[in-house]
Structure 1
Amino acid sequence: MSWFSHTAHPVQTEVEAFWYLNLTPEQQLAHDKLLEHLKETRTLHQGHDDRFTLLRFLKARQWDVHRAAAMYQSMVKWRIEQRTDHVYETFTFPEREAVLRHYPHFYHKTDKYGRPVYVELLGQTDASKILEATTLERLMHYHVCDWENLQRKILPACSVLAGRPIITKSVILDLKGVTLKNFGSAAQKMLRNVVTIDQDYYCESLGQMFIVNTPTVFRMIWAMVNPLLEERTRRKIVILGSDFLPTVTQLVPLESLPACLGGKSQEPASLQDVGPWLDVQLPNPVKNPHKEKAAGADGQEGGDCDPEQQQAAVAVKATTAAVVSPPSSMRQSATAPGRLHLEEDE
Structure 2
Amino acid sequence: MSTTTVTSPAAEELPPAQETVSGAVGTLTPHQKTMFDNFRAILQKANLYNPDTHDDATLIRFLRARRYDPAKAHDQFAKTEAWRKENDVDNLYATFPTDELQRGKLFYPRWTGRRDKQGVPVYVYRLASLDSSMQKELNAISERRRYERIVALWEFMRLFTLPLCSALPHAPPLPVPATPNPASPKPEAVNGVPAASEITAVSGVVSPSSNVPITSVFSIIDLGGVSMTTMWSLRHHLQQASELATAHYPETLHKIAVVNAPSFFGTVWGWIKAWFDEGTRTKVHVLDSNPGPTLLTMIDAENLPKIYGGELPFKFEDEPILDAPAREALGQDTVPAGPVVFDVKQGKWGRPAGYVEPQTSAQTVAGEDSDTVVGSESSARSSVDEGTLHKSDSVKTKRRWLNFSSTN
TM-score tier (shorter): 0.7 to 0.9
Aligned equivalents of 1:235, 1:166: Cα separation in 2: 20
* Greater CA drift, 120-129 or 166-175: 120-129
* Structure 1 residue corresponding to 2:308, chosen from 249, 257, 261: 261
Q: 1:47 to 1:215 in 2, by over 3 A?
A: farther
Instruction: Map residues 177-326 of structure 1 onto 2, 5 A cutoff.
Output: 177-185=225-233, 187-266=234-313, 270-276=317-323, 278-281=326-329, 323-325=331-333
CA contact (8 A) 2:223 2:262 kept: yes
Q: 1:32 matched to which residue of 2?
A: 37
* Structure 2 residue corresponding to 1:106, chosen from 107, 110, 126: 110
- Work out whether 1:140 is the aligned partner of 2:147: yes
Aligned equivalents of 2:52, 2:247: Cα separation in 1: 17
Deviation at 1:151, TM superposition (A): 1.7
SS at match of 1:178: coil
Deviation at 1:7, TM superposition (A): 5.1
* Greater CA drift, 105-114 or 128-137: 128-137
Deviation at 1:169, TM superposition (A): 1.0
Q: 1:72 to 1:324 in 2, by over 3 A?
A: same
* Structure 2 residue corresponding to 1:23, chosen from 3, 19, 28: 28
Aligned equivalents of 1:232, 1:85: Cα separation in 2: 28
Deviation at 1:96, TM superposition (A): 5.9
Q: Which amino acid aligns with 1:173?
A: I
Q: 1:345 matched to which residue of 2?
A: 399
Q: 2:223 matched to which residue of 1?
A: 175
Calculate percent identity across the aligned residue pairs: 26
CA contact (8 A) 1:45 1:76 kept: no
Aligned residues: 297
* Structure 2 residue corresponding to 1:329, chosen from 321, 324, 337: 337
Deviations 1:306-333 (A, max 9, x none): xxxxxxxxxxxxxxxx844455324323
SS at match of 1:184: helix
- Work out whether 1:56 is the aligned partner of 2:61: yes
* Structure 2 residue corresponding to 1:159, chosen from 157, 166, 171: 166
Aligned equivalents of 1:42, 1:330: Cα separation in 2: 32
CA contact (8 A) 2:222 2:259 kept: yes
* Structure 2 residue corresponding to 1:131, chosen from 135, 138, 143: 138
SS at match of 1:16: coil
Greater Cα radius of gyration, structure 1 or 2:
2
Q: 1:39 to 1:100 in 2, by over 3 A?
A: closer
Aligned equivalents of 1:248, 1:106: Cα separation in 2: 17
The structure richer in helix per residue is 1
Q: 1:160 to 1:18 in 2, by over 3 A?
A: farther
Q: 1:71 matched to which residue of 2?
A: 76
CA contact (8 A) 1:31 1:58 kept: yes
Any gaps of 5 or more consecutive residues in structure 2?
9-13, 170-209, 341-350, 356-382, 388-397, 401-408
Aligned equivalents of 2:60, 2:102: Cα separation in 1: 36
Aligned equivalents of 2:104, 2:85: Cα separation in 1: 28
TM-score by length of 2: 0.65
Aligned equivalents of 2:28, 2:167: Cα separation in 1: 21
Q: For the aligned residues, what is the CA RMSD?
A: 2.9
Aligned equivalents of 1:328, 1:274: Cα separation in 2: 12
CA contact (8 A) 1:61 1:68 kept: yes
Task: Indicate the structure whose relative CO is greater, using CA pairs within 8 Å and at least 6 residues apart.
Answer: 1
Deviation at 1:31, TM superposition (A): 1.0
